[in-house]
Chains A and B, each alone.
Chain A
Amino acid sequence: MKVLYQIGEYVMLIFQAFKRPDKGYVFRRQLFIDFKRLGIESIGIVAIISLFTGGIIAIQMAYNIDSPFIPKSTIGFSTRQMLVLEISPTIISLILAGKVGSRIASEIGTMRITEQIDALRVMGINPANYLILPKITAAMIYNPVLIIFSIFLGVFGGWIAGSITGLVPSSDYLIGVREWFEPFSLTYAMIKTVVFAFIITSVSAYKGYTVKGGSVEVGQASTEAVVASSILIISFDLILTQMLLS
């Protein structure tokens, strides 16, 4: 029953958030602030994780493919495919659920308990629209950019790791990276990324917006936001994969 109530409350909040902003330029200003806070400030962690993950995948592939009948270029191909299809869109989104999701939930939750959201309401402003819509929009625009960046860095990380360890010759790896590329795999990755961006921002905003109590509850909401977003990301990963690739 509580779950149904929360789903209803979430849908109503998102409906409120997706109304036309009161002032276009105020919305645009908030959007650019959120591009910076949610997108640009995530570049560092995305870069480090992608670079290392690409390297790890390439090395693991090299250790597992030791048959002389399988060309070394398969390592480059597999690394790219794993990054495009799963690692970058899903794993990076899970990491962003932790970083960006907790930030959104705690920011909005703190605004709730310190009456800042009430202040917006009594000024005649739609707080859901003012606070949540720019965050959702920013993440849905910026996350695909982050994921493409992550794919490139992951492939680069695999190349560096393969070359340094001597497990994959550079030329073989680069041939593999360019082999049998299907543009739809990138479309699939982008569709997943946009859906995950919506999940991360809307669920976290909902958890923060509905906080009641004090700092303990804000912390709890932040944790719940990360857990709920992560579970939803994995669930929708399965659903979208079945829908788009089967």
Chain B
Amino acid sequence: MIEVKNISKSFDETRVLNDISTTFERGKTNLIIGQSGSGKTVLMKCCIGLYDVDAGEIDYDQRRFSNLSDRKKKNIREEMGVLFQGGALFDSFTVEENVMFPLNMFTNMTMAEKKERVNFVLENVNLEGTNQKFPAELSGGMIKRVAIARAISLMPKYLFADEPNSGLDPKTAERIDILLSELTKKFNMTTVINTHDMNSVLQIGEKISFIHQGQLWWEGSNKEIMKTDNPQLNEFVFATALTRLLKV
């Protein structure tokens, strides 16, 4: 479980996160939702240690993580998998080399063991046989799936995904959502997904945290979100014609 306790973050004079407290639970897909500019990406970057928080604490299973030096964060980071918005695959590496990269850096596995692990995770993201392709040869959805494969190659306890289905067609986006949800259950990970896609919210949102103007405004599940009377959340959830049709 990841505990976020009263964190705040400012850039120059602008306060982006204001006293946010929440928990992300193990074995569940935890969603952070909010409009663009609401602070959800900053919250995720604070959680993975790319930004230091100005106030508050972040604990990973009772282990303090926030504001430690990069060297001290290393042990927890080795238990983390992160899927960036654009995939962030290494352009000069093949799919196999990308997925194998964390194994090269953090394990003493033999080449045969590493290849076996690479094939196992590629199979889990339905990308068997793409080992020798370069990122430039892949579609957007395939890049995201390779990035997921790389993120789970070390069998992490914590998986973070920043807008995993942005820029994808609805069918591929749904496949990515289902894949993340299935992997969460299969490997019992604490998964945190940053999204503003209502399809993801309804499909896989077991625990949803709604961020608005840098503050946590609402928490609940995908079943509860449709019945909420929170005006800001309603404005966000029922912003499209499709979701307005679903209004209870």
Contact = CB atoms under 8 A, between A and B. Distances in A.
B49 A26 contact: no
Contacts of A125: 105
B187 to A, nearest CB: 18
Contacts of A116: 88-91
Contacts of A110: 91
A122 B90 contact: no
Given A122-B48, A123-B77, A126-B70, A26 B105 contact: yes
A121 B105 contact: no
B82 interface: yes
B82 A119 contact: yes
B77 to A, nearest CB: 4
B88 A114 contact: yes
Contacts of A121: 49-50, 70
B104 interface: yes
Interface in A85-111: 110-111
Contacts of A23: 104-105
Contact of A123 (B75, B85, B102): B102
Contacts of A22: 105
Interface in B55-94: 70, 73-75, 77-78, 80, 82, 84-86, 88-91
Contact of B88 (A26, A118, A124, A126): A118
B106 interface: yes
A214 to B, nearest CB: 12
A9 interface: no
A115 interface: yes
Contacts of A26: 104-105
A124 B70 CA distance: 7
Contacts of A119: 82, 84, 88
Nearest to B101: A123
Interface in B89-118: 89-91, 101-102, 104-106
Nearest to A19: B71
Contact of B77 (A111, A114, A115, A122): A122
B88 to A, nearest CB: 4
Nearest to B74: A124
Contact of A122 (B80, B85, B101): B80
A114 B89 CA distance: 9
In the complex, which of the residues A111, A125, A126 has the most CB atoms of chain B within 10 Å of its own CB atom?
Answer: A125
Contact of B86 (A115, A122, A124, A126): A115
Contact of A118 (B84, B91, B101): B84
A77 B239 CA distance: 81
A22 B84 CA distance: 23
Contacts of B84: 115, 118-119
A126 B104 CA distance: 14
B104 A124 contact: no
A180 to B, nearest CB: 48
Contacts of A118: 50, 84, 88
Contacts of B106: 123-124
A115 B88 contact: yes
In the complex, which of the residues B49, B74, B78, B88 has the most CB atoms of chain A within 10 Å of its own CB atom?
Answer: B88
Contact of B82 (A111, A114, A122, A126): A122
6 contacts: A121-B49, A121-B70, A123-B77, A123-B78, A123-B106, A124-B77
Report, nearest first, the 7 A-B pairs whose CB atoms are least far apart.
A124-B77, A119-B88, A115-B88, A124-B74, A115-B84, A122-B82, A122-B48
